[in-house]
Amino acid sequence: MRADLRHRHCFPTRPLHTKEKAAARQARRQVGNVAQAGSHSAAGQMTGYLYQCELALLELARHSWEDPAIEVRMEVLDDVEFLYGAAADPHELLQSKHREKAGRLSETGKDVWRSVASWIDALKTLDRLSDGPMPLLRLVTTQIAAENTFLFQLRPGSERSVPDALARMLQVAEAEEPANTADDRKKFADLTPAQRYRLVAAVEINDGSPLMSDLNPTLARTLGIRPGEHARAILDDIKGWWYGVAVESLDKNRERASVTAQELQCRLEEVTDRFAGRNLPITETARRLTAAEIAVYQDDLVVAQMRWVGLKDRTVASYLRDYHYARAQRSKWLRSFKITEEGLEDYDRLLWDEWDHVFTRHTDGVEDDTPEEERQAVGQRVLHDTMDKVADLPARPGSTTERWIGRGAMHSLAGRPRTDDDEDAVGWHPDYPDLCQGHHDEPGDA
């Protein structure tokens, strides 16, 4: 394209003044609003779902300061639920309502009465309408409860009045209008007086909650993330982890039923320490194993892997020391919430990748007719070179750790039983997949 035509058609002939820029922005907003209104946009609904997800994270962070064992789950009996310890029934049921334009929370609106109907259904399922421990029923909304409404009277604080709120609530429930909440209001009116009082006494209205666009600062403060160079990166990491967890917990197969506050705190500490370059604590000391301790492992796959490449007892004992104490240290990290299972899985993937490069390089020249003695020699090179590689890999990015941690973790990977669908199995001998299968099939193997 000629330069004069390109400039004529693609660029303005003069710069826009400030007023013109403002007018252009306003015009774009108006066009966007018209397009959104005419395109059956689900933006508000999508924001509501995202808000529910992030509110669950915020509330779990808030609860974690009180009880690290508390668990959160979503979309089972309510939008969000909290359970304590081994309790089967939720301690709290939470409804989240997000409206971009805050405004007033209506006594007759769908947000309120759909929440009430949802709670009634949940309490019926739990058989808690008439007796038994009653969960807290919270409505968290970005809108504002006006004074002289039952919503205002059900806020926490000195002005809370259950009797006054109940009287007004029943009056609204028995009214003829509005039609769009008639079924939900009837569900409340049909309860017995004792059931209505029991339900209303458990309700708490938390109005004026932060909008979706304002959640980040509130979430950072609640998590205890201090302002600084890495604050946003830490928060983004936590939220990324949380959305992954949420997808798992919302999956129809329910591979993850709930998330504990301990998991959240562990992930937060893990991420914060990574950015600060802090090391994982080493509480184990890799001492020489006794003959009895070594004997415990003699029938395990981890030892068989070393025997297949011809290692002598002294070398096997040395590597078993790494394996023994690395397992103990990793277990201690998990029990004391110094690292998450996901964090260790990430570490294991790094170890596997180093092994894969070494194994591929050394076994590339092994043919079907390669003698067994040479195959064992190749396997020994794979083992020793892998151990040299992984010894300096930190268990947490940006930190350092004892060299026996990496070597021992690598042996743990080699000690995992191999299955047909396990593509991450590790071994030293060029024929380790077949050898592992034979080991698995031996009588007495579990």
For residue 236, give every residue at least 6 positions away whose Cβ sits within 8 Å of its Cβ, in sequence order, or none: none
Region 203-207: mean pLDDT is 96
The rounded Cα 388 to chain-centroid distance in angstroms is 34
Residues 359, 308: Cα–Cα separation, whole Å: 15
Residue-wise pLDDT for 329-371, tens only, equals: 999 998 888 888 888 999 999 999 999 999 999 999 999 999 9
| Residue at 284 is within a domain | no
* pLDDT recorded at residue 361: 96
| Residue at 33 is within a domain | no
256 and 299 share a domain? no
| Residue 32 β-bridge partners | none
219 and 109 share a domain? yes
Region 82-94: mean pLDDT is 85
| Residue at 420 is within a domain | yes
Query: Looking at the 3D structure of the chain, how many domains does it have?
Result: 2
Q: Residue 381, Cβ neighbours under 10 Å: how many?
A: 17
131 and 256 share a domain? yes
* pLDDT recorded at residue 144: 94
259 and 310 share a domain? no
Q: Which one of 214, 243, 271 terminates a domain? A: 271
Residues 260, 340: Cα–Cα separation, whole Å: 12
Region of poorest pLDDT, from 88-102, 166-180, 270-284: 270-284
90 and 149 share a domain? yes
Residue-wise pLDDT for 383-403, tens only, equals: 999 999 999 999 888 788 899
* pLDDT recorded at residue 14: 38
* pLDDT recorded at residue 109: 93
| Residue at 148 is within a domain | yes
Per DSSP (E only), the strands in 15-143 are: 71-74, 80-83, 92-97, 104-105, 136-141
Q: Which one of 212, 242, 271 terminates a domain? A: 271
* pLDDT recorded at residue 419: 65
417 and 314 share a domain? yes
| Residue 56 β-bridge partners | none
211 and 153 share a domain? yes
**Hey, what amino acid is at 336?**
S
Residues 129, 114: Cα–Cα separation, whole Å: 17
Residue 212, φ and ψ in degrees, nearest 5:
-55, -40
171 and 228 share a domain? yes
**pLDDT of 5 higher than 80:** no
- Dig out the tokens for 162 from the structure: 């259950």
Q: Which one of 214, 237, 271 terminates a domain? A: 271
- Dig out the tokens for 22 from the structure: 């403002």
| Residue at 173 is within a domain | yes
**Hey, what amino acid is at 80?**
V
Region 82-92: mean pLDDT is 83
| Residue at 37 is within a domain | no
65 and 197 share a domain? yes
Percentage, residues of the chain above pLDDT 90:
63
**pLDDT of 260 higher than 70:** yes
pTM over 0.85, yes/no: no
Region 82-111: mean pLDDT is 88
Region of poorest pLDDT, from 25-34, 73-82, 114-123, 323-332: 25-34
CA distances from 370 to 121, 356, 384 (A): 70, 21, 21
| Residue at 6 is within a domain | no
pLDDT band at 420 (very low <50, low <70, confident <90, very high): low
Region 194-220: mean pLDDT is 94
Region 426-438: mean pLDDT is 91
228 and 321 share a domain? no
113 and 156 share a domain? yes
Region 173-197: mean pLDDT is 95
| Residue at 26 is within a domain | no
Q: Average pLDDT over the chain, rounded to whole?
A: 86
52 and 149 share a domain? yes
**pLDDT of 273 higher than 70:** yes
Region of poorest pLDDT, from 29-38, 231-240, 244-253: 29-38
Region 123-135: mean pLDDT is 93
The position carrying tokens 């007023």 is 19
SS3 254: coil
* pLDDT recorded at residue 443: 40
Parent domain of 324:
291-441
- Dig out the tokens for 253 from the structure: 């197969």
Q: Which residue has the higher pLDDT, 115 or 18?
A: 115
Residues 82, 170: Cα–Cα separation, whole Å: 28
**Hey, what amino acid is at 334?**
L
pLDDT band at 286 (very low <50, low <70, confident <90, very high): confident
| Residue 206 β-bridge partners | 140
Residues 200, 186: Cα–Cα separation, whole Å: 15
